[in-house]
Amino acid sequence: MTGHRAIDCWVNVTMGDVKDVEYLKRAKEDYFKAGEEFFTSLSVDECLADMDEAGVEKAILTVRVKDPSEAVLDFARQRPDRFALAAHVRPTAGLPELWRLEDLVAEHPVVMARVVPFDFDLPPSDAQYYPLYTKCVEMDLPLSVNTGLPGPPVPGECQDPIHLDRVCYRFPLLRLCMAHGADPWWSTAMRLMLKYPNLHLMTSAYSPKYLPPEVVHFMNTRGQDKILYASDHPVLSMKRCIAEADQLDLRDGVLDKYLRGNAERLFFSERHPPRG
């Protein structure tokens, strides 16, 4: 085990179940240039071994709110000290989807909701997301929203972080975290994080080695509390991502915030619903 004690905010344990999805195959071959490990499914013990080798204390696994995978839920049942859940929501599915989200949060260790705009080519400024935002505010549940051009060959304009400008303005109590970086719109993402206290960014599916110098500067200065580590393991292995994070030119204390502290505060601190 390394000396780091990280929280990985995006880990996949059922990638083998989606190996026939065409756009993911294209992402594997054309974008990540990955090997067969890309589509690896993991058992609890295998995932724990990977975490221990990399120095990851906790991992957040994605589970859909509609027909949630029992295999994923079982990770959190067996080791609630090591695994938490991100509830994948389709805001276009209406109120039944939000009721399922409420049930999942009540019954399992869900620490965030998660939306992927390119799934339905709808920017997060669209009003169809607003019931989800309202529900997350009511539960004080953080929400992860993918930003940046997606790796798969699908339309990506909907993931320009500028769409979150109106969201943050209209929902100031909503705790938001951009996911999968913000390439090529890093400057917009950083400016928005300076503008809105409740907006953050995780570097899931983005190799720390290739973070732009201006992002590393932001992490060292006004963005120390804004950027969170995540790997998208096994798409990018946690061991590789943490090793690369360790090589970043970060000031004293910043690496710990990036790898653990910011995620601990955003996702694992006590929730305080506004009407609680």
pLDDT in tens, 201-247: 999 999 999 999 999 999 999 999 999 999 999 999 999 999 999 99
pLDDT score of 66: 95
Mean pLDDT within 65-85: 97
Mean pLDDT within 250-275: 96
pLDDT score of 16: 60
Those residues whose C-beta lies under 8 Å from the C-beta of residue 46, and which sit 6 or more positions away, are none
pLDDT score of 19: 47
Q: Under DSSP, is residue 276 helix (H, G, I), strand (E, B) or coil? A: coil
> Does 40 have pLDDT greater than 90?
no
Those residues whose C-beta lies under 8 Å from the C-beta of residue 21, and which sit 6 or more positions away, are none
Of 169, 147, 170, residue with least CA distance to 157: 147
> Does 174 have pLDDT greater than 60?
yes
How is residue 92 annotated by DSSP?
Answer: G
Q: Where does the pLDDT of residue 3 fall: very low under 50, low under 70, confident under 90, or very high at 90 and above?
A: low
Q: Where does the pLDDT of residue 30 fall: very low under 50, low under 70, confident under 90, or very high at 90 and above?
A: low
In angstroms, rounded to a whole number, what is the distance separating the alpha carbons of residues 75 and 59? 10
> Does 272 have pLDDT greater than 50?
yes
CB atoms within 10 A of CB 92: 14
pLDDT score of 25: 44
In angstroms, rounded to a whole number, what is the distance separating the alpha carbons of residues 183 and 214? 12
CATH 3.20.20.140 fits 6-268, yes or no: yes
> Does 250 have pLDDT greater than 70?
yes
> Does 15 have pLDDT greater than 60?
no
Q: Under DSSP, is residue 6 helix (H, G, I), strand (E, B) or coil? A: strand
In angstroms, rounded to a whole number, what is the distance separating the alpha carbons of residues 64 and 66? 5
